[in-house]
Amino acid sequence: MWSPRRLLPLAALIAVGACSSSDGVIRIGVAGPFEQSRGASMRMAADLAATEINRSGGIGGRRIELVFRDDGADAERAVQVAQAFYDDASVVAVVGHLTSGTTLAAAPVYNGGESPLVEISPSASNPRLSDAGPYTFRVCPTDLLHGARLAEWAAREVGATRAAVMYRNDDYGRGVRTIFKDGFSAQGGTIVADDPYLDDLPSFEPYLRRIQRRGGAQVLMIAGTREGAEQILQALTAAGMRPAVMGGDGISGLESDTVNAEGVLISTAYLPDRPGAENAAFVRAYRAANNDREPDHRGAGTYDIIRLLALAIEATGPDRAAIRDYLAGFGSSREAYEGVTGRIAFDENGDVPDKDVVIGIARGGRLVTAGR
The separation between CA 369 and the C-alpha centre of its own chain, rounded to angstroms, equals 18
Query: In this structure, are 104 and 179 located in the same domain?
Result: no
Backbone angles phi, psi at 250, to 5 degrees: -65, -20
Angstrom distance (rounded) from CA 349 to CA 310: 21
Name the nearest CA neighbour of 170 among 105, 241, 238. 105
Query: In this structure, are 147 and 136 located in the same domain?
Result: no
Query: In this structure, are 159 and 228 located in the same domain?
Result: yes
Instruction: Give the rounded percent of residues in the chain with a pLDDT score beyond 70.
Output: 94
Query: In this structure, are 87 and 154 located in the same domain?
Result: no
Indicate if the pLDDT at residue 152 is higher than 50.
Answer: yes
Query: In this structure, are 179 and 116 located in the same domain?
Result: no
Query: In this structure, are 150 and 211 located in the same domain?
Result: yes
3-state secondary structure of 223: strand
Angstrom distance (rounded) from CA 269 to CA 256: 18
Name the nearest CA neighbour of 28 among 351, 286, 285, 320. 320
- Whether 362 maps to a domain, the answer reads no
Domain stop point among 253, 268, 283: 268
Domain stop point among 268, 296, 313: 268
What is the DSSP track for 317-369?
A: -S-HHHHHHHHHTBTTTBPPEEETTEEE---TTS--TT---EEEEEETTEEEE
Residue 29, domain CATH: 3.40.50.2300
- Whether 2 maps to a domain, the answer reads no
- Whether 3 maps to a domain, the answer reads no
Mean pLDDT value of segment 301-309: 98
Residues 80-92: pLDDT tens digits?
999 999 999 999 9
Query: In this structure, are 132 and 155 located in the same domain?
Result: no
CA atoms within 13 A on the CB side of 214: 16
Look at the chain and count its residues: 372
Domain stop point among 245, 268, 291: 268
> What pLDDT band is residue 309 in, cutting at 50, 70 and 90?
very high
- Whether 4 maps to a domain, the answer reads no
Instruction: Output the pLDDT for position 15.
Output: 35
Query: In this structure, are 244 and 126 located in the same domain?
Result: no
- Whether 302 maps to a domain, the answer reads yes
Amino acid at 306: I
- Whether 109 maps to a domain, the answer reads yes
Residues 117-144: pLDDT tens digits?
999 999 999 999 999 999 999 999 998 8
Query: In this structure, are 181 and 286 located in the same domain?
Result: no
Buried b (16+ CB within 10 A) or exposed e, 210-220: ebeeeeebbbb
Angstrom distance (rounded) from CA 124 to CA 97: 7
Kindly give, in sequence order, each residue whose CB lies less than 8 Å from that of residue 184, ignoring residues fewer than 6 positions away.
151, 154, 155, 163, 191
Query: In this structure, are 105 and 45 located in the same domain?
Result: yes
Query: In this structure, are 331 and 345 located in the same domain?
Result: yes
The number of folded domains in the chain is 2
Angstrom distance (rounded) from CA 57 to CA 279: 22
Q: Which helix (H) or strand (E) holds 137?
A: strand 136-138
> What pLDDT band is residue 1 in, cutting at 50, 70 and 90?
low
Mean pLDDT value of segment 278-305: 96
- Domain, as residue range, for 174: 143-268
- Whether 368 maps to a domain, the answer reads no
With beta carbons less than 8 A apart as the criterion, state whether 282 and 295 touch. yes
Mean pLDDT value of segment 35-59: 96
Indicate if the pLDDT at residue 13 is higher than 80.
Answer: no
> What pLDDT band is residue 199 in, cutting at 50, 70 and 90?
confident
Q: Which helix (H) or strand (E) holds 62?
A: none
Would you say the pTM of this structure is higher than 0.75? yes
- Whether 344 maps to a domain, the answer reads yes
CA atoms within 13 A on the CB side of 39: 20
Mean pLDDT value of segment 350-357: 95
Residues 243-287: pLDDT tens digits?
999 999 999 999 998 888 999 999 999 999 999 999 999 999 999
The separation between the first and the last C-alpha atoms of the chain, rounded to the nearest angstrom, is: 29
Query: In this structure, are 153 and 167 located in the same domain?
Result: yes
Indicate if the pLDDT at residue 329 is higher than 90.
Answer: yes
